[in-house]
Structure 1
Amino acid sequence: MVGLERGTVELEPYDEGWARLYEEERERLKHVAGDRFLDFEHIGSTAIKGMPAKPIIDILAVVEDLDESRYLTPVLEECGFEYRPEEVEGRLFFAKGPRTNRTYYLSVTERGSDFYEEKIAFRDYLSQHPKAAERYASLKTRLAEKYPENRGQYTRKKGQFVQDVLDLAIDDSES
């Protein structure tokens, strides 16, 4: 089951079905955008086996040039994605589903961008380091209980942990 009201925080135990839902949506996106998307990645907590997560599937779509990819916005909107202008460097962001039941997040970015590298490094590090994943799951659970109606605060409070994991992931990749 996927879907969560915008701005709220509710974690679900890991669900093996999330990978299938990612694959199904990826196939829909390929059909709609053709070869304009070069690649896809399942990111976020729903991509990490065993990780509790907000039941929203995070998809990263890779494009050749982000500025030239803005023309995809109407195509994606026809498929139910809402463009959400944000101040996140290096990505275009879309949400699918009504605000009362967001089901998918789509981030469009260039391969090799800081946004791309950080999302992949974080996912891969937690997938390969069970103790760090356990600490993250525990932190997320505590924060979800404390901030169920304040996703911004929930996200901010995870910030230092996320940065620490990114630092470790970068150190690992350089050794």
Structure 2
Amino acid sequence: MVGLSRNAVALELHDPSWHDAYREEAERLRNLVGEYVEAVEHVGSTAIKGIPAKPIVDVLVVVSDGKTDAMAASLDANGYERRPNDDVPDRVFLVRGPPDCRTHYLSLVEVDSNCHREQVALRDYLREYPDVAAAYASLKRDLAAMYPENREVYTAEKSAFVEDVLDRALPEYAP
């Protein structure tokens, strides 16, 4: 089952149905705006077996160069809500579902943008290194217990861990 209210932080054990929800969403996107889509990726914690996640499916859509705004406008007319970029300069961020039951997060990015590389690298690294994924799961559980109604702080508190993983996964971006 997918869906969670906008500001809540409630983690669930990994659910294989999240992959099915991703595939359905990817198909829906291809039907709506396929002419702009280069690739669709399941990212975020729902894409990593064995770790808890908020039951909101993260979808990364790689868009033809210069087409993110056109695609976002089309999606706005088809049940998605465009949200501020949340300090991520190279993506357009949209959500699906009403504020009391967000079901999907959608990041529109251009090929080889930093957001594209980082989201895929993080997912792949956590899939490849179960011990790191377990440490991330433990951190997420602790933070969810501390900030059950403050997703902004929950997300900010995970950032150092995520940056550390990205430094290992993408050594060319390490300071």
* Residues 114-171 of structure 1: CA deviation (Å, up to 9, x unaligned): 1111101100000000000000000000000000000011011111100010011124
Q: Which amino acid aligns with 1:141?
A: R
Q: TM-score, normalization: structure 1?
A: 0.94
Structure 2 unaligned residues grouped into runs of 5+ = none
Partner of 1:80: 79
**Rounded Cα–Cα distance in structure 2 between residues aligned with 1:152 and 1:42:** 22
Q: Which deviates more from structure 2 when the two are superposed, residues 34-43 or residues 9-18?
A: 34-43
Describe how 1:4-19 pairs up with structure 2 within 5 A: 4-19=4-19
Q: CA deviation at 1:71?
A: 1.6
Q: CA deviation at 1:88?
A: 1.4
**Rounded Cα–Cα distance in structure 2 between residues aligned with 1:115 and 1:62:** 10
What's the RMSD between the two structures over aligned residues? 1.5
Residue 74 of structure 1 aligns to a residue in which SS?
helix
Partner of 1:68: 67
Residue 94 of structure 1 aligns to a residue in which SS?
strand
Q: CA deviation at 1:18?
A: 0.5
Deviation >6 Å, runs of 4+: none
Partner of 1:31: 31
Residue 170 of structure 2 aligns to a residue in which SS?
helix
Partner of 2:167: 167
Partner of 1:43: 43
Q: What is the number of residues matched between the two proteins?
A: 172
Give identity over the alignment, percent. 49
Q: Which amino acid aligns with 1:94?
A: L
* Residues 76-111 of structure 1: CA deviation (Å, up to 9, x unaligned): 122211011223110000000000110000000012
Q: TM-score, normalization: structure 2?
A: 0.94
Partner of 1:149: 149
Partner of 1:58: 58
Residue 38 of structure 1 aligns to a residue in which SS?
strand
Instruction: Tell me if structure 1 keeps the 8 A contact 2:94–2:107.
Output: yes
Structure 1 unaligned residues grouped into runs of 5+ = none
**Rounded Cα–Cα distance in structure 2 between residues aligned with 1:69 and 1:59:** 14
**Rounded Cα–Cα distance in structure 2 between residues aligned with 1:104 and 1:77:** 14
Describe how 1:84-103 pairs up with structure 2 within 5 A: 84-86=83-85, 87-103=87-103
Q: CA deviation at 1:24?
A: 0.4
Q: Which amino acid aligns with 1:168?
A: R
Partner of 1:124: 124
Q: Which amino acid aligns with 2:78?
A: C
